[in-house]
Each structure stands twice: as structure tokens, then as C-alpha cells.
Structure 1
Amino acid sequence: MHCPRACPTKRDTNPLTYSVRYCSHSNHSSAKEELPPRLTPCAFSAFLKVLNSSLHLPTGGLVINFCTQCGQEVNLLIPQGDTHQRHVCTNCGHIHYENPRLIVGCVSTWDNKILLCRRAIEPRLGYWTLPAGFMENGETTAEAAVRETWEEAGARIAIDAPFSMISIAHINQVHLFYRGRLMSPEYSAGEESLEVILTKPEAIPWSDFAFQSVEITLRRFLAEAEQKRFSFHESVLAPNT
């Protein structure tokens, strides 16, 4: 039960085995509340093994061995009324759908210079890229581009318009890049960047780009910037191209 005087409480015992919350006043020592049992270290280790065996991410996409709803095995089947194989639970019938991932970024400029980041994480650690990353739930694509630019390059930007969309079907991704402008010439490397630069077009490190979609987008941008006329580009990036 709770202390009748609503005293501050604290936890006792090993948090991985069992928890007891008790009142900090000595004269209220009887005011204890037993909490639900927690995972023991052995149970937690077993849970990690099941999780590791049930979900892993190869090049082709997510492979699911066990149902996320009931924990039973799943099979690759074509559900009734569907046209694609899905991971279907043999016990509860739950269908595990898998969809492409959307990566969003921005070509951001200031005084005819372009904002670039050098990656501090894999894949392609140490190579250059535009600020970009996975879109989060609850945000628009433009909001994702603004957020990623702030997180990776410490720069505040204003979005102009969508510029380039590249489908990369063999890795189940779509890369969407906006055109944008820095609101000030201030920037700094975020957790996922080794360094950030504002570079003139002639100083762009073309041979050290992390991803082909970034190079394609930048070359299109510079070609149209010279003409001062921009359009939206959609393309497909095939394997080994």
C-alpha cells in the first residue's frame, strides 16, 4: 500500500529480481508496496536470445522467425486477397507487414556554398554526405529534413521545395531530398558527424561521398543552380550502378 502521508518513496532490492517501494520515514516502515516481479538475469538473457533469433536485418529486408504478438513461429505465405509473401503467424494468424524505409535530407545553401557532413557512424564512416536520415513517426517529410539537418549539422534551415526522389528497391529504401537555405551561417557537428563544412561547389569532395544518391542529387542541383531554374527529379538506382 502507499504511505497515507504521501511520503517520497524509494526502491529497495535488486531491480532485476524483485522490487519493494517503501516510505523513507522510519515510523512509516509498515507502508510497503510490493511491485510486480521483474526479469531475473537468466530470464533476461533468454529473452535476448529469442529476440536475436526472431529479428535480424539482412540486405534484402527484415526476416521474422517468431510472431511479435504471441511468440509462435511464422511462415512465409501469401495471405488471402494479397499478392505478396508475408510473415504469417501459424498460431494467431497475425500478418507481419514490411514496408520500404524513407530517408529524408536537404541540399542546404548559404552564400552559394553547400552544407556537407562527414559521417561519424557506419555505414560509410568517414565519408561525406548531405544531412539526411530516417523519417520518424508523427512528422512530415519537410519536418524530417529540418530535424536531420539540425541533428547532424547543427544548422537551422528553411525548406524551399522537394528536389530529388530516388528509389533504391534492392535495399527497400526511398531517398527524398529537399532544397533549402540556412537561416544563418552557423553550424556544428552533431553526434553522427565527424565534421561539418560549408563548401564552394569547386571544393566538393566528389570522390569521397558515402552514397550514390547524394552524389546524383548534388550534381543535379549544381547543374540547375547555374541556370537558376529548379525542377523535381525522380529516378531509380539499380544495384551496381
Structure 2
Amino acid sequence: MSKAPVHPNHRLQRDYPAKVRFCPLCGGSMAPRLILPDNVTRKVCDACGFVHFPGPKLVAGCLVIDHGKVLLLRRGIEPARGKWTFPGGYVDLGENAADAALRETREEVGMRVELGSVLGVLGDTANPSLTLVVYLARPLDYPAMTSEEATEVQFFAPDEIPWSELAFPTTVDALTAWIANARKRD
């Protein structure tokens, strides 16, 4: 019997790995235990002994730049629905970050882009379960389109960016780095 497709609850996804309660191997309950020789506490399965070593989820995105302006989208989904950010999302298992950045840009704003250099690899102290790889990119086709994930799309010059309406600390960090790099080249 097949079940209906679902939309992932991205707010809930951010609870991983902090709220893991059951072993992914045997389903047994997990409890914090001291792990030697590192002397760190990790969740350990009471039944099979599996140790959960959490690592960050990788996210990849593009700052699409055209004539000195950056493409931002207004988020249509949680978290941060209604706030501005750049195209990006989770890297799938077996996918590299560059391919994920291209895929997410196409899915969210309907644009094919050409990747340039890596702008940076960013962490978010408010959400340490994510690490973000941000690429600079240039558009190969127009126009950017809206989608379920992007209710509005717009190019912004640095002095037009809606700073008080940005979605995440990493959005601020990436845009700040882009502006600083652009000023160095001028």
C-alpha cells in the first residue's frame, strides 16, 4: 500500500541530530554516554551499542550576480517564510555541493547558471547542524521565476538589499562577504 507524497517539514529537520531518540540501526532507545578516549558525550544505543556521531548537514547555494546585482528570493516555505535569501538547499547523499547549488537554483527560481568561485563555507552558530557552501554564479538564462519555494524573486544592488528582512545569519554573512569582495576589486 503506497502512501501519499509529503513535503518535508524543514523546521523539524533542524531538530536533527539534537533530538534523536532511537537507534537508526536497531530502533533501541538512545541515551547520552561518555565516549572514550575523546571524553565527549554522545548518544549511544542501549540495545546494540551504536554511537551516534552527529555531523553537520551540507547545504549549497548560489549568489547569482548580474551587472553588480544579486538575485534574492522571498521564501515560500518554513523556516523563515516571507524572508529573503539566495537559492540553495540540502545536498543529497551522493551529490556534490556544486551540483546541488545548480539544482537548487533551477528548482527554486527556474534559472540555469554558471558557477564561478566558492565565495565561502559558512557555519551558523544559531544552527550548528548546518554548513553552507556558497558559490558565485552568473545567469545563463532569464528571467528568474517564482515557485512554491520562492514567492518573489528580484535582483538587488548592494545598497538595495533588504537587510532587516533576510532569512538567516548565513544569508547576511554571504551577502556581506560578496560586498566586501566586490569593493576589493573596485
- TM-score, normalized by the shorter chain, greater than 0.5: yes
Question: Deviating runs (4+, > 6 A) in structure 1?
Answer: none
Matched-pair contact (CA < 8 Å) for 1:67–1:94: yes
Q: CA deviation at 1:65?
A: 2.5
Residue deviations 1:139-195 (CA, integer Å, cap 9, x gap): 111112111111111111111111122222442222221111111232111221111
> Relative contact order (C-alpha < 8 Å, sep 6+): which is higher?
2
- Amino acid in the other structure paired with 1:94: F
Larger radius of gyration: 1
How far does residue 209 in structure 1 lie from its aligned partner after superposition?
A: 0.9
Question: What residue identity is the alignment partner of 2:181?
Answer: E
**2:121 matches 1:168:** no
Q: Is the 8 A contact 1:60 1:170 kept in 2?
A: no
Question: Does the residue aligned with 1:64 lie in a helix, a strand or coil?
Answer: coil
Q: Which residue of 2 aligns with 1:75?
A: 31
Q: Unpaired runs of 5+ in structure 1?
A: 1-14, 17-55, 230-241
Name the structure 2 match of 1:215.
Answer: 172
- TM-score, normalised to structure 2, is 0.82
Q: Could you tell me which residue of structure 2 aligns to residue 47 of structure 1? A: none
Q: 1:203 matched to which residue of 2?
A: 160
Provide closer, same or farther for how the CA distance between residues 183 and 63 of structure 1 changes in structure 2, counting only shifts above 3 A.
same
1:88 maps to 44
Structure 2's unaligned 5+ residue stretches are: 3-11
Does 2:84 correspond to 1:146? no
CA contact (8 A) 1:60 1:171 kept: no
